[in-house]
Structure 1
Amino acid sequence: MSWFRSLIQRSSIRHPLKPSKATPSLSLLLSAEFSTGTEAAASREAGLGPTRPGDKARVVVLGSGWAGCRLMKGMDTKAYDVVCVSPRNHMVFTPLLASTCVGTLEFRSVAEPIGRIQPAISREPGSYFFLANCIGVDAQNHVVHCQTKTDGVGTLEPWNFNISYDKLVIAAGAEASTFGIKGVKEHAIFLREVYHAQEIRRKLLLNLMLSDVPGVTEEEKCRLLHCVVVGGGPTGVEFSGELSDFIMRDVHQRYAHVKDYIHVTLIEANEILSSFDDRLRRYATKQLTKSGVRLVRGIVKDVQPEKIVLTDGTDVPYGLLVWSTGVGPSPFVKNLEFPKAPGGRIGVDEWLRVPSVQDVFSIGDCCGFLESTGKPTLPALAQVAERQGKYLANLLNQIGKTGGGHANAAKDMELGKQFVYKHLGSMATVGRYKALVDLRQSKVTEYLLQEAKGLSMAGFPSWFIWRSAYLTRVVSWRNRFYVAINWATTFVFGRDISRI
């Protein structure tokens, strides 16, 4: 081992413990890395400046929902640089989100990364995705003010930056309506994002396991295993159907000791699935009741940590509370100094422009037609947002090809055909291989579909149509493969009940 000792001695001579003059100190490294406080502050005020005449025009898209993603997918990246600003880096395929709560599908099956929807964002030098929230719009100077979103991890403190735009598309979506009811935001779980579905799944499985522990009283078992859904629209009905199917097929087999305690209650102020045909509503009511879902007509007055109180004084204890009562404008949309449509949405004209300013458009749940257009406010549906995104992508591509892509270059340009929405129908599953398909060619009014002629059907054929339609509508072949494999695995082996 003498050779080893000599090697250590030579190494210690070459690299003494005391740093040499040539070795930079820790303070020098830190100063080189972070520069001075002034320079760091200046870097955090940086952003994207105005485009130059020889550059491609820049389209800034606020949001990564159905509308924004369909717009980005259809953009001509030879004419535009695309910059997306959103607090999430993926699009959620919301029609299948309820299935992830009970393990029918895995969460990644319903999340599509922005970089796959529009590859230019990952490859082109002038196109970007920024994980941030827009906090203001300076339409006069064609600038949006943004703040980074760090989710409280602590890696970096949030900071502000600015982005100059040639065309701005506000597709910021909406937020769940609470109607000012106390305690909803603190105690209920919404079903709009993947992390909502993850929270529902974790809490549902936790309550199942806790209720099986010795020492839990009968009353507490009943409360823990009481799942309450508020809102009888498609989302609330589909989640109730998935949950009842999970209880019938999986809980009764794998949680035999508590299977008689778990039940689901759906609370709705009016009729469930109010936009569907009367016959389909009756069928849905019958199927949900048959599956063990208790339907209650009532209005929630107060939400407390372990119970909700209805306006008639009834107390409803719960272990899991899911809130699905529709959507309304977000604080960001409310604070924008743009004309508003009925309901507080951003007002747009027939070409989806915000008419009071130049080069600003709005699509999706955050916008609505101004009263001066004579058009009704469209419902907050995925198909409305998708069709608006497709229309606006074609419109902006046309503007870019005719030389109007840069700021203030399309003032007097003819825009061609106006946006016209034609409702293609509605679908909803009620669990146990049953679904509703309403393909009536209906006239859309504000949050309501007037009676019209067309096909409406229910039962197993509708369930097959529902699954086939949504499988083809999933954005990428990758996720279609995931969804198909998840459905096949669940059919053969049952749902995964791991709490991860």
Structure 2
Amino acid sequence: MAWFRTLMQLSTIAKQPPFKPNNTVISPHLALISSISHFSTQSQPEVTRHAGLGPTKADEKPRVVVVGSGWAGCRLMKGIDTSLYDVVCVSPRNHMVFTPLLASTCVGTLEFRSVAEPIGRIQPAISREPGSYFFLANCNGVDADDHVVHCQTVTDGEDTLDPWNFKISYDKLVIAAGAEPLTFGIKGVNEHAIFLREVYHAQEIRRKLLLNLMLSDVPGVTEEEKSRLLHCVVVGGGPTGVEFSGELSDFIIRDVHQRYAHVKNYIHVTLIEANEILSSFDDRLRQYATKQLVKSGVRLVRGIVKDVQPQKIILSDGTAVPYGLLVWSTGVGPSPFVKNLELPKAPGGRIGVDEWLRVPSAQDVFSVGDCSGFLESTGKPVLPALAQVAERQGKYLASQLNRIGKAGGGHANTTKDIEVGEQFVYKHLGSMATIGRYKALVDLRQNKEGKGLSMAGFVSWFIWRSAYLTRVLSWRNRFYVAINWATTFVFGRDISRI
């Protein structure tokens, strides 16, 4: 009687009133056609699924649109007062990545979900309030005059839905789109190297590392090919590159030597940096890090990469360096989206903001995080692309928007008569980096030339872990991280290739 139940369902659908998702009407006949498509081989008619979100009315809560789900955007959403605003987040990912611990997931010290915090947990109103949404999409344009952002949905490959465009009207717009890895125009980087900024990057690194380990143990692999497969090259001596090299060397010493005894003498790590590693740290700490990395088996090479080929990289002096895994960590720069915005630019091509993180030429537009920078006219220095900078900006801007909303300036074009609050002032709290083997660096100076506490060793490693455990956003993820660390300490890392 399955055909009878299907017929009853179709008759019920035909009786239902028209459905309007975001101002787009789908008639009962269209619903009927969609339902019986399971029994038809004919192509379905193309339907505009979403027209977008129109302007808010005077009796509705004003709408804050946040572009991006990084440190700055998520900290802002966490602090925004949802009794004053509806919050709409537009991002190609539905979670925030706790980047300081991302390198640990590549080698199995932590599981991937331990460093990913869902947007709905950061700001519950997005999941509960009728006027707040999360849209899995990319923002590809901003019309500051009409207070509209243009978006395109993110789909997963050719076998899913075709992407479509939609618009969102905003009362306040916060651009927190982050940045992209710098490749310096070097040929082959995007095709052959793996970056380390997203969870899927860490997953790709882990799968490739374990695949190379297992392939190198299969009969028929030559000595030369085995050495290439097991050569892990990291380009970039900043905190991310050094931390990943340290985690990888620790993984090799503690796990590979025990579980891959046949290839333990072939696997090694090379860290390539054009200048000094950890250039923002104290000289004494840099020397300590260099000594410990070399002691752990990491080969440090000073050089500039000129070309990246499928199985080797070419340095400026002509040296060819074969690799099985290539991780690229040379800093970040503005994304094509930021470059194409018709907004004032700060030094380096980032979106230019004033002392209150406003975009001066665009009413009701703000920018925070790695995609923004102070305009030269402010006289403020260029802030580093650090998580703590982005987090502090997000917290500051949330308080600013809350103050504006309480003063009645939440809706578009209503803030001209509202007094601005205090300017954003950033004070550096220090830097930390782990270098593997229960050792880390802690530099609490406010700047490179300033005075302050700097230390290295086991105590620093304990401080590093304690600090980041408390900085993880939710108690759920803190529990995950603590359990992962304890499990790894007792049983070793999980080296399953799933």
What range is the shorter-chain TM-score in? over 0.9
Whether 1:349 aligns to 2:354 is yes
Indicate conservation of the 8 Å contact 2:440/2:461, yes or no.
yes
Indicate conservation of the 8 Å contact 1:44/1:160, yes or no.
no
Question: Which residue, 418, 441, 451 being the options, matches 2:449?
Answer: 451
Q: Corresponding residue for 2:210?
A: 205
Q: 1:377 to 1:493 in 2, by over 3 A?
A: same
Q: Corresponding residue for 2:340?
A: 335
Unaligned runs of 5+ residues in structure 1 are 1-10, 443-449
Q: Superposed, which structure 2 residues align to 1:255-404 within 5 Å?
A: 255-404=260-409
Q: Corresponding residue for 2:23?
A: none
Q: Displacement of 1:152 after TM fit?
A: 1.3
Question: Which residue, 491, 494, 497 being the options, matches 1:496?
Answer: 494
Indicate conservation of the 8 Å contact 2:193/2:327, yes or no.
yes
Q: Superposed, which structure 2 residues align to 1:4-43 within 5 Å?
A: 31=33, 41=47, 43=48
Q: Displacement of 1:249 after TM fit?
A: 0.2
Cα deviations by residue, 1:337-361 (Å, 9 ceiling, x for unpaired): 0000000000000000000010000
Question: Which residue, 470, 473, 479 being the options, matches 1:472?
Answer: 470
1-structure distance, mates of 2:178, 2:367: 10
Indicate conservation of the 8 Å contact 1:44/1:161, yes or no.
no
Q: Displacement of 1:151 after TM fit?
A: 2.3
**Aligned AA for 2:212?**
N
Q: Corresponding residue for 1:95?
A: 100
Indicate conservation of the 8 Å contact 2:34/2:44, yes or no.
no
Indicate conservation of the 8 Å contact 2:294/2:300, yes or no.
yes
**Aligned AA for 2:33?**
S
Q: 1:29 to 1:58 in 2, by over 3 A?
A: closer
Q: Corresponding residue for 2:24?
A: none
Q: 1:249 to 1:23 in 2, by over 3 A?
A: closer
What's the C-alpha RMSD, in Å, of the aligned pairs?
A: 2.4
Cα deviations by residue, 1:230-272 (Å, 9 ceiling, x for unpaired): 0000000000000000000000000000000000000000000
1-structure distance, mates of 2:380, 2:36: 55
Q: Displacement of 1:31 after TM fit?
A: 2.5
**Aligned AA for 2:455?**
M
Question: Which residue, 219, 222, 227 being the options, matches 2:227?
Answer: 222
2-structure distance, mates of 1:355, 1:391: 18
**Aligned AA for 1:426?**
S
- Structure 1 segments of 4+ aligned residues over 6 angstroms from their partners: 21-25
Question: Which residue, 457, 460, 471 being the options, matches 1:462?
Answer: 460
Q: 1:253 to 1:78 in 2, by over 3 A?
A: same
Cα deviations by residue, 1:314-334 (Å, 9 ceiling, x for unpaired): 000000000000000000000
2-structure distance, mates of 1:29, 1:175: 42
**Aligned AA for 1:453?**
K
**Aligned AA for 1:416?**
G
Cα deviations by residue, 1:162-182 (Å, 9 ceiling, x for unpaired): 000000000000000000000
Q: Corresponding residue for 2:17?
A: none
SS at match of 1:454: coil
Identity percentage of aligned residues? 85
Q: Superposed, which structure 2 residues align to 1:53-92 within 5 Å?
A: 53-92=58-97
**Aligned AA for 2:437?**
R
Whether 1:155 aligns to 2:160 is yes
Indicate conservation of the 8 Å contact 2:13/2:32, yes or no.
no
Cα deviations by residue, 1:110-154 (Å, 9 ceiling, x for unpaired): 000000000000000000000000010000000000000002153
2-structure distance, mates of 1:38, 1:499: 40
Indicate conservation of the 8 Å contact 1:63/1:84, yes or no.
yes
1-structure distance, mates of 2:479, 2:159: 36
SS at match of 2:453: strand
Whether 1:433 aligns to 2:438 is yes
Cα deviations by residue, 1:264-311 (Å, 9 ceiling, x for unpaired): 000000000000000000000000000000000000000000000000
Q: Displacement of 1:412 after TM fit?
A: 3.0
1-structure distance, mates of 2:350, 2:143: 18
2-structure distance, mates of 1:287, 1:75: 44
Indicate conservation of the 8 Å contact 1:358/1:411, yes or no.
no
1-structure distance, mates of 2:326, 2:420: 47
Unaligned runs of 5+ residues in structure 2 are 15-28, 38-42
Number of equivalences: 478
Question: Which residue, 140, 147, 163 being the options, matches 1:135?
Answer: 140
Q: Displacement of 1:155 after TM fit?
A: 2.5
**Aligned AA for 1:304?**
Q
Q: Displacement of 1:414 after TM fit?
A: 1.1
Q: 1:198 to 1:32 in 2, by over 3 A?
A: closer
SS at match of 1:256: coil
| TM-score, L = length of structure 2 | 0.93
Whether 1:484 aligns to 2:468 is no
Q: Corresponding residue for 1:409?
A: 414
Q: Displacement of 1:474 after TM fit?
A: 0.1
**Aligned AA for 1:139?**
A
Indicate conservation of the 8 Å contact 1:341/1:368, yes or no.
yes
2-structure distance, mates of 1:34, 1:82: 37
